[in-house]
Amino acid sequence: MSVPAIEIHGVRKYFRRREREAGAPWWRREWKDKVALHDLDLVVEAGGVTGVLGPNGSGKSTLIRILGTLLTPDTGTARVFGWDVVRDALLVRSHVNRVSVEAAFFKELSPWENMVYASRLYGHSGGTRRRVVEILESLGLPRDVIDEPMKQLSRGQQQKVAIARSFLTAPSLLLMDEPTTGLDPRSKKEVQAVLETLRGEREITVLLCTHDMDEASALCDRVLMMDGGRVLADGSPDELARRHGAPALEDVFMQLTGKTFEAEEEEEVIVT
């Protein structure tokens, strides 16, 4: 039996922040805990696209950040291809890449320079220009942008470079944290087409966080619906709709939570 791509048992995560009650003097602030994930259990088999649907504050990004070794769970265990995200962080990192809502690049550097950097970090040699050009062209990026500073590229182009960069490092698990948020319709369609291709190939396991219900319906083999740090529903988009007798995923979410799918407050807390 193959090792699951993701295996999470009883993972809980909370963040602390100091808050002032309304009307209290400025110096009187108390520590308060906000739970971002409630005792999460989850198993994702290798291959395909699993969507994590939920509004801001639902725990999607916390989940992604735990799997990316950027956060440690307070309780429970999280494993990626059998490796523990805390104890075997280095091994986990060599199999995982992430595309986030904002493309994390050195904006003054070109796509080529950023990708050489990524390539070296992931243990590949720097001389991969032909491969970089191939990947970028396969994503529909014009050849002449490869040496332009990233800041001169459109958001859609930047996001494609981020996806290309993740392909360059050949991850087994690709964490996509709202990769199409804020993109223009055309760029969004192009990025979604890339995901569609990945879904067909099934060589990479994709965990796609989104609050775009249509995107999740179209691209995901399986959908987890989250709210308030809990998984409320789990199944294929069709299954979920059938199970809840709802025409669309948005209606399923409304049935489960009694609220519309709108943006809420940021989920993580700044502690300085």
Partner 1 sequence: MTVEMRRSEVGALLGFAERQLYVYKRYWVWEVVWLFYSIVSVLSIGFLASGLDQLGAGSAGFDLRKAQLYLLIGALLWGYLSLVFMEAAYAIAWERWEGTIEYTFMAPVRRVTHLMGICLFAIVYGLARTFIVLLVAIAIFDIDFSHADILGALVVLAASILPLIGLAILTSVLPLLSPQKGEQMSFAVQGFMLLVSGVYYPLTVLPVPLQLAGAISPLTYALDGMRRSLLDGATVRDQVGTVAVLVVMGAVLIPAGIAVFAWAERRAKHLGLLKRSG
Based on CB atoms, which residue is closest to partner 1, 88 or 251? 88
Whole-angstrom distance, CA of residue 49 vs CA of residue 89: 23
Based on CB atoms, which residue is closest to partner 1, 10 or 126? 126
> Looking at this protein, which amino acid is placed at residue 28?
R
Based on CB atoms, which residue is closest to partner 1, 45 or 268? 268
Annotate 200-215 with DSSP letters as a single string: HH-SSEEEEEES-HHH
DSSP letter at 48 equals E
Interacting residues toward partner 1 by CB under 8 A: 15-16, 62, 65, 68-72, 74, 90-91, 93-94, 96-98, 100, 102, 104-109, 113, 116-126, 149, 268-272
Based on CB atoms, which residue is closest to partner 1, 79 or 98? 98
- Minimum Å gap between C-beta 173 and partner 1 is 12
- Minimum Å gap between C-beta 70 and partner 1 is 5
155 contact partners, CB below 8 Å, separation of at least 6: 103, 182, 183, 184, 187
First-to-last alpha carbon distance for the chain, in angstroms, is 45
- Minimum Å gap between C-beta 203 and partner 1 is 19
- Minimum Å gap between C-beta 270 and partner 1 is 6
- Minimum Å gap between C-beta 235 and partner 1 is 30
Based on CB atoms, which residue is closest to partner 1, 73 or 237? 73
The angle formed by the CA atoms of residues 124, 62 and 178, to the nearest 5 degrees, is 70
Do residues 225 and 248 lie in contact, with contact meaning Cβ atoms separated by under 8 Å?
no
